[in-house]
Structures are given as structure tokens and as C-alpha cells.
Structure 1
Amino acid sequence: MTRALDPERLARAYVSTVTQGPSRAVEQLIASRGVIDAAATMRTGDVPKAVWDRISARAHLDSAAQSLDMVAALDGRLVIPSDEEWPAWRFLGFDRQDGAPDKRDAGAPFALWVVGSASIAASSERAVAVVGTRAATSYGEHVTAEIAGDLAVDGWTVVSGGAYGIDGAAHRAALGVGGCTVAVLACGVDRAYPAGHERLLRRVSESGAVISEYPPGTHPARYRFLARNRVVAALSDGVVVVEAGWRSGARNTASWARSLGRPVMAVPGPVTSASSTGCHRMIREGEARLVTGARDIAAEVGVIGTGAGDDDAQDALFGRDLDRLPATPARVLDAFPASGARSVQELSVDSGVTVSAVRSALVVLEIEGHAGRDESGWFRIGGL
């Protein structure tokens, strides 16, 4: 059996097709029964009511094999959680989405349809999202080009949504300096949306990646753009909003970044510009930090080529890593003693976090270099 037609991949392709975006109910079904069994019961309708309400209109669309053939014809692939390039730690923040009503049903993608040479896990290891209005001004496009270009030169992946305006300027700037850029679509990867960006998206796929949680053939829709924004935020170390109107969709991406524990930054514009009112509002209300270039962004999300000495750079990076930890891992880290090891259960009691959430948090802390484990349990790495 080929990689493309293994049962788990077929099941994930089916779930992606019938669910059309995130669903906590479907996520819980998969967690309890496994994706292969879950997909089989979804086909027959033998599922909880919350799941059936979500999938009933599409449950009969068993087009997984055809969708896999379509993405393969594009030299693409379906990336699933068991693949090495699945960005698992990037999606851990979705485990704690139980606050705002518009985020309660939004979990990690069930799969990612990908066209492009870049590994999703590797390209998102050091990434910044640059987003903004479609109706960008010449000022906005100029600032975007400088920011995205400088970030890409310093080795950051530039993540955006492939749209007109700021998104397109960010992708082009990264490509212009030979950097890596990732475009997250709100439609199938076989569709160039907007149509005027067909060539741009093709260039993105040549050195980076074009990705979507929706199978080939899926049309863009407003709710898919809103769901897409959470993936843009999740794949990044921080989100930079260059230009945004009062009700810009970029502010939704920024909201997701805050919810996932990512720093949010905004570029100020002329006080007379309607295209910058959203940025000014976020800065004024404390929703975003004011930045004017790549150096400011580095101060929020990590160290790039600032000319700092090695010791200074390491100290600065360590401090920022702690600052940008999501809330649950940070809370678990605070429960560690200065010396000695603790069990998962002890950390749960000391932090007030459930055992399952502690286990997820420890994965993040281990990857980030803040915690390790041996036969005696988990211990803290580094100072307080």
C-alpha cells in the first residue's frame, strides 16, 4: 500500500472533506475512537448528535481517494499528525481554547493539504506572520516589503494568507530576497485565490509552501477565511499587522495570536489614514505592541542579526522565550521547584492544571529547552 492510500491518510482526507474546518465534537470522536474508526462511523451516521449535526450534509461525500489523487497531481501531499513534518507543537495552544465563544469550537486542523517543497514543521520552526488589509496603501506595501524582506534575509519564514494587499506584498518581499514564505489558503490548494495571485502562489510553492486544511476543489467562503486565520497565527512565533481598517480581518488573526499565546505587533500609520485605524486601535487598547521594523519584531519574538554579542543574544533570547510561552506551559513551568524533579501528578497539583494539560505543556517546555526528564521525573532547565 502506498503512503498516499494508507488507511489513516484516507480517513483524515475523508474527515477533512466532510467536516470542512475545525470541530471539537469531531476532534473528541477521533480522540476516543481513533481516526480510522471515527471516519467509518461518520460514514454510517453512528456518531454523537453534535458530530452528526456538523457532518450530515456532507457525510456521503466519500471522495478521499480522488482528493489524494488531485493533490498528488499537483506534486502536493496530505500532511497528517503521524507525519514527521506535522507541526504538532504549534497546535498545542488549541487545547486550551475554552474562553471566547467564537473560539470554543476551533481546534487544530485534522490534516493539511500542501503544495510546495518546504517541510511544514521545519519552515514554521522560526516564523513570523505578516498580515493586513487587502486595500493596502503605497505606504503599507513599502513598510511590508521592508519588514518581510528583512525578516526573510535573517532566516525567518514569512507566513501570510496569499491575499491582495499586505499579504501579497509580504510574500513577494520574502521571495525577492530568496527567503521562505508560506501561504495559508481558505480554499483548496488547487485553486488560485485570488485569481490574480496564481503566479505568485506558484512561486511561493517553489521555495516554500501553499497549504490549506480544506481538500482540493473547495471554494473560498467567509467562514473559511476566519478559520484560516487561526492557522496563520498558530504557525508563527508572532503576528505583525501592517495596515488594518477598523473592522479588518487581520484583527481576527491578531485575536487568534493572543489566544494562542503569540505576541501581536502593529505598525503605526499616518493618523489620517483609514487603512491604519485598526492598527492604531490595537496599539491604543494594549492589544498589540508598536513596531516599526524587523529589529522591533526581533525584540518580541526572538533574536535576528542585531549585532549583539553571543552572551547578550542568549540572555535576550532566553528571556523572550519565557515571555512568549503560552499560558498553560508558563503556569506549569512556574510550578517547578528550583531544584529536584516532580512527577506529572505533582505538577498538576502544584499548578492547578489538569494532568492531560500538564502532559501537553511539558512537550512544549521540553522542545523549548525549559524542562527535561529522567528516571526521577521532570526537572527545570535554566534559572528562574
Structure 2
Amino acid sequence: MTEKQDRLALSLIAEPGDPRLRDLLAHHEPGRIVAGARGDSSVRVPAGWSDRALGMRTALDEVKARAKASGLRWLCPDDPGWPTSLSDLDHIEPLHGTAGAPIGLWIRGNGNLAQLTEESVAIVGARDCTTYGAESASELAADCTDAGFTIVSGAAFGVDGCAHRGALLMNKPTVAVLACGADVDYPAGHGALIAAIADTGLVVSEQMPGAHPLKGRFLSRNRIIAALSQGTVVIEAAVRSGSLNTLNWADQLGRTTMALPGPVTSKQSSGTHESIRTGKAVLVTNGKNVVEELRGLGAETSTPEAIPSTEFDRLPPAARKTLDGVDWRIGRSLTEIASGVRLTAREVQTSLDLLERRGLVVRFGSGWILARRADVG
């Protein structure tokens, strides 16, 4: 078999992310490890791997058939489109029993993973997020994609799903990394969302097609999200949150770690606040902050941050000056206003007509007075 086929076979007998797999790959080719699982005594492997190797040929046929039916492709380190950033995972200590770069990835979609993640940011957070968290995730994702970043997340309910939707609303691709097979819609309620992600971006998994999500696989999946991204933003994470696991991976990888704060009374944000307080994450409040952290201070998004404006700001210059010459209690004539603001009588008359139509001034005897404020929104 080729190395690509050896890696596929190895993925069926060893649980992806097993630290023992990383250690064996540091000294042996994938084919040698597969041979060890099938009885070659020159390479010692865990007993469980040998047990699974007994049905490996049948499992390979089933996986290939399922992948073909679902339009999945098997991507390996020497293939075009493989992100070299994933190799960083081989050089850090295990977290929660998981370590190492993936031996391969199942890809759903036609995009190029390396190109899509060349500039990317992970946005993760609570599944049971608040309205604040959901809106923040969507807006942050939209701002970052507008600045040229690809959003990477886990397609879960809550913050993950909102981040993906924020990117899709901007008609930009996004990458979802699953803890199950790339052909499995999990959660089931996100089937349409995952299909939309695959249509414009990519759905990625190191688990074999048809694999079910397990608790440990979510923690293993998180390392891939962190490694594919130049930075990770956490929105609404409790103290014991899986999202903080992704942040920890990003921190160990030397990536930029960020957190968006919530209300100080919110339990959903207690973990993000602790990350900020202890210096594990930089506080960010919008897409501009994220872009500055990733590209350096002074970096600009493709669209400038909106500056809140009032009705006064939107008035023509002559109308603003005319409004400044009108009083709340004392009626002033057209001539008095024109003299006070140094405009012609014609300019003031035109401006007063506009201001009266907008309900900002009213006639008072032979003059004019203010009717309401124009500088409050």
C-alpha cells in the first residue's frame, strides 16, 4: 500500500489523537505500525490496535464505500491542500489524553483547506449561549470574514453555529471541524447548516466516515480547530467549558488567544472572564480588535468601524449651524438667527423649513424655538 493508504488503515485501528500514535510515528513509518498491529513483532503496538486490525480489510472497504457515497476525500500531509500548521501539534505535550497532528483528515467540500486557513480565526463558545453571545458571535464572524479571515469552528449549537452563520451571511466560506464522521450531521438540527458550510467552505474530521461523536472526540477535535487557526476567540464559556480546552490548545501552540467579555453576573462568561483576568486571553470586543491582534496594531478591516451618528450629525452643515442659533425658550427671528450663526437669510430660511419638517423647530410668535433635541440618536 502507499503511505496514504497506510495512514487510512492506521486511522481505523488507532483512535485519532492517541498520544501513543504520535510517539510511534516519530520513529516508524505508518506502514510499519500497521504491520505491527497485524503481527510484525519488530514494532510493538497496543493490544487493542491488534484486535481491530483483524477486521481491517473489511473496515477499509466499508469506509471507502461510505466516503464515495458521501463525497468525502482523504487528505494527508503530503497532499496539496494540507495545512502545514497542523504539524505544530506534534511538538506540544498532551492535553486531556490527546496529542499529535492528525494522520489524515476526511474532507467534505471542494475547497482547499490550506488556502482557506492561511488567514483564519477560530470562534468557539457556549452551546447554551445567551442572545448576547449569539449576536456577538455572528457579528464578530462577519467582521472577521469581511477583513479576509476564514472562520473555523465546530458546528455545535450556540456560539459555533452563530459564528458559521455570520460568515455565510457575508457569502464567505467557513470551516467546520467535527467530532464525528464528516458525513454525519451532528448535531442533527444543524444538518442544513453543515450542508451549507460544505457547499461554500469545508467540513473536516479526523474520524472515519460514519463515526459517532464521543466525549473524548470533542476534546481531540478542539486541537485541530486551534491548530488550523492563527488565533482563537472564546465567547461565553463557563469555568468548566470545552471551549476553554480549545483556548488552552491555542495557548500551547503559541497562537493568539482572545476572549470576548460578558456581563460580570453571567455564569456563561465566568470562564472567559477568568481567562482574561489571568492573562491567558486578550480582551476583545469587536472584529477590529481581533484583526489588530492577528495582524498587528494599526491593522484595518476592509470596512471601517461604524461611528455612531445622531440626527444632528446627519443634517446638512447649514442646518446644523441654524439649529445652533435657535433657543429653547426665547423665540428668535430669521434675521436674528442669521446674524448669530453668520449665514445668509436665504440659507437660514431653507434650513428652518427642513428643521420644521423634521420636528426639530416650531414657530413661536414671529420667531422660532427648539422643539426637541437632535443630538441623542
Q: Which amino acid aligns with 2:96?
A: D
Change (3 A) 1:97 1:72: same
1-structure distance, mates of 2:113, 2:164: 16
What code does the residue aligned with 2:39 have? T
Query: What residue is the counterpart of 1:36 in the other structure?
Result: 31
Query: Residues 10 and 65 of structure 1 are in contact (CA less than 8 Å); yes or no, is this contact kept in structure 2?
Result: no
Please report how far the alpha carbon of residue 57 of structure 1 lies from its aligned counterpart in structure 2 after TM superposition.
4.3
1:360 is matched with which residue?
A: none
Counterparts of 1:64-103 in structure 2 under 5 Å? Answer: 64-88=60-84, 90-98=85-93, 102=96
Structure 2 length-normalised TM: 0.75
Aligned-partner Cα distance in 1 for 2:217–2:301? 38
1:206 is aligned to 2:199: yes
Identity, % of aligned pairs? 40
Which stretch of the first structure deviates more once superposed, 21-30 or 107-116? 21-30
Alpha-carbon distance in structure 2 between the residues aligned to 1:226 and 1:54: 21
Correspondence for 1:196 among 176, 185, 189: 189
Deviation at 1:281, TM superposition (A): 0.9
What one-letter code is carried by the residue in structure 2 that aligns with 1:241? V
CA distance in 2, matches of 1:46, 1:14: 18
Task: Say which one has the larger Rg.
Answer: 2
Which residue of structure 1 aligns with residue 22 of structure 2?
Answer: 27
User: How big is the shift at 1:41?
Assistant: 2.5
Contact 1:13 1:68 in 2 (8 A): no
Residues 262-321 of structure 1 show CA distances to partners (whole Å, capped at 9, x for unaligned) of 11100010112111111111111111000001111112112664479xxxxxxxxxxxxx
Q: Does 1:118 align with 2:118?
A: no
Q: 1:15 aligns with which of 10, 16, 37?
A: 10
Distance of 2:145 and 2:95 partners within structure 1: 36
Distance 1:273 1:119, change over 3 A: same
Whole-Å separation in 2 of the counterparts to 1:55 and 1:29: 13
Question: Which structure 1 segments of 5+ residues have no match?
Answer: 1-5, 309-384
What does residue 52 of structure 1 align with? 46
- Once the two structures are TM-superposed, the CA of residue 233 in structure 1 deviates from its matched residue by 0.2
Give the superposed CA RMSD. 2.0
Pairing 1:107–2:96 present: no
Could you tell me how far apart the structure 2 residues matched to 1:302 and 1:241 are?
A: 18
Deviation at 1:53, TM superposition (A): 4.1
Correspondence list, 1:269-308, <5 A: 269-302=262-295, 305-306=300-301
Once residues 55 and 75 of structure 2 are traced to their aligned partners in structure 1, the CA distance between those partners, rounded to angstroms, is 20
**Contact kept? 2:90, 2:99, Cα under 8 Å:** no
Give the 3-state SS of the residue equivalent to 1:33 in structure 2. Answer: coil
Q: Does 1:180 align with 2:173?
A: yes
C-alpha separation between the residues in 2 aligned to 1:265 and 1:31? Answer: 32
Name the residue aligned to 2:336: none
Mean Cα displacement is larger for which, 27-36 or 239-248?
Answer: 27-36
Aligned to 2:229: 236
Q: Cα offset for 1:180?
A: 1.4
Q: Which residue of 1 aligns with 2:55?
A: 61
After superposition, give the CA deviation of every residue in 1:77-136 in whole Å (9 maximum; x if it has no partner).
Answer: 000111011112x123223213x6636x50000100110121111111000000000001
- Give the TM-score of the pair, scaled to structure 1: 0.74
